[in-house]
């Protein structure tokens, strides 16, 4: 009888038996949770050389005393903590992004934190336009050759301007117009670039994301912007 407590103690230390099937299922679920849901290279990632184009980015003279300013550089970071965002004191603004290389863009992704943990999901951006900055003679020739099609596409997208509010005297082309949906199943949402832009083979080394509206809050939080596409070959 004196040995009984020792035996029970050893039994309590033994790990529960898990079948190989259950173990494999758990490992698959963990890998899926850790895997990036987009699965595309992000050319707007600071760690890969992307930078904020300050002359193409909105600046705000003052923010609420209750809100700590959050810099636009945050949108180029993988950090998705609630404090890591760019704070716009209203529903509109723009951020310029210098890409690490020239890219044929195919998609743009907007990351936001899930609505279940957001302090106010209405601070999420809603209507946005992605603009590409035109550079080089070859691109200009392509733009002229496709000018009428681009104009018709802009009308179809209900765009009333041919450039973002801040241009720094550069020429721009609208390459995507889309709406982030706070009611969607996933907080990370990917949108296609206009098929005409893809077909035109115009490449870009800098883009501007224009936030036109949010979901009704006094201020806007933009967490992350990703630019996807194909890097041009030398």
pLDDT digits 0-9 by tens, 160-205 = 888 999 999 999 999 999 999 999 999 999 999 999 999 999 999 9
pLDDT score, position 176: 95
d(CA 193, CA 199): 10
pLDDT score, position 7: 46
d(CA 137, CA 25): 54
pLDDT score, position 21: 64
Cα–Cα distances (Å) from 39 to 47, 104, 109, 114, 160, in that order, read 17, 17, 11, 19, 33
d(CA 187, CA 189): 6
What's the angle, vertex CA 109, arms to CA 164 and CA 61, rounded to 5?
45
Tens of pLDDT along the chain (234 residues) come to 455 555 444 544 554 566 666 655 555 444 444 456 788 999 999 999 999 999 999 998 655 444 556 899 999 999 888 788 999 999 999 999 999 999 999 999 999 999 999 999 999 999 999 999 999 999 999 999 998 988 888 877 778 888 999 999 999 999 999 999 999 999 999 999 999 999 999 999 999 999 999 999 999 999 999 999 999 875
Closest CA to 206 of 159, 171, 158: 171
pLDDT score, position 234: 58
Please identify which residue in the block is written with the tokens 């050319």.
43
Answer yes or no: are the C-beta atoms of 197 and 145 closer than 8 Å. Answer: no
Closest CA to 180 of 130, 230, 133: 130
Whole-model pTM: value is 0.82
d(CA 104, CA 230): 5
- Side-chain-side CA neighbours of 127 within 13 Å: the count stands at 8
**Would you give the DSSP letter of residue 134?**
-
- In three-state secondary structure terms, 199 is helix
pLDDT score, position 68: 53
Residue 130, both tokens: 């992605």
Architecture of domain 40-231: Sandwich (2.60)
d(CA 84, CA 210): 19
pLDDT digits 0-9 by tens, 111-133 = 999 999 999 999 999 999 999 99
Cα–Cα distances (Å) from 173 to 6, 132, 177, 198, 210, in that order, read 76, 5, 11, 12, 12
**Would you give the DSSP letter of residue 98?**
E
């Amino acid at each position: 009888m004196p040995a009984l407590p020792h035996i029970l103690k050893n039994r309590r230390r033994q790990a529960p038996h898990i079948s190989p099937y259950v173990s494999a299922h758990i490992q698959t679920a963990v890998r899926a949770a850790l895997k990036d849901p987009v699965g595309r290279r992000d050319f707007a990632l600071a760690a890969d050389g992307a930078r904020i184009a300050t002359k193409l980015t909105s600046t705000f003279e003052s923010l609420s005393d209750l809100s700590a300013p959050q810099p636009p550089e945050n949108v180029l970071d993988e950090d998705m903590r609630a404090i890591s965002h760019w704070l716009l004191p209203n529903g509109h603004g723009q951020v310029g992004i210098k890409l690490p290389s020239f890219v044929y863009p195919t998609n743009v992704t907007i990351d936001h934190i899930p609505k279940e943990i957001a302090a106010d999901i209405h601070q999420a951006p809603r209507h946005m336009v992605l603009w590409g900055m035109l550079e080089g003679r070859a691109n200009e020739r392509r733009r002229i050759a496709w000018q009428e099609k681009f104009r018709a596409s802009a009308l179809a997208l209900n765009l009333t301007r041919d450039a973002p509010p801040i241009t720094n005297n550069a020429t721009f082309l609208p390459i995507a117009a889309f709406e982030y949906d706070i009611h969607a199943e996933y907080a990370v949402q990917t949108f296609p670039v206009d098929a005409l832009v893809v077909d035109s083979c115009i490449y870009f080394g800098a883009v501007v994301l224009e936030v036109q509206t949010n979901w009704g809050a006094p201020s806007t939080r933009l967490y992350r912007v990703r630019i996807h596409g194909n890097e041009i070959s030398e």
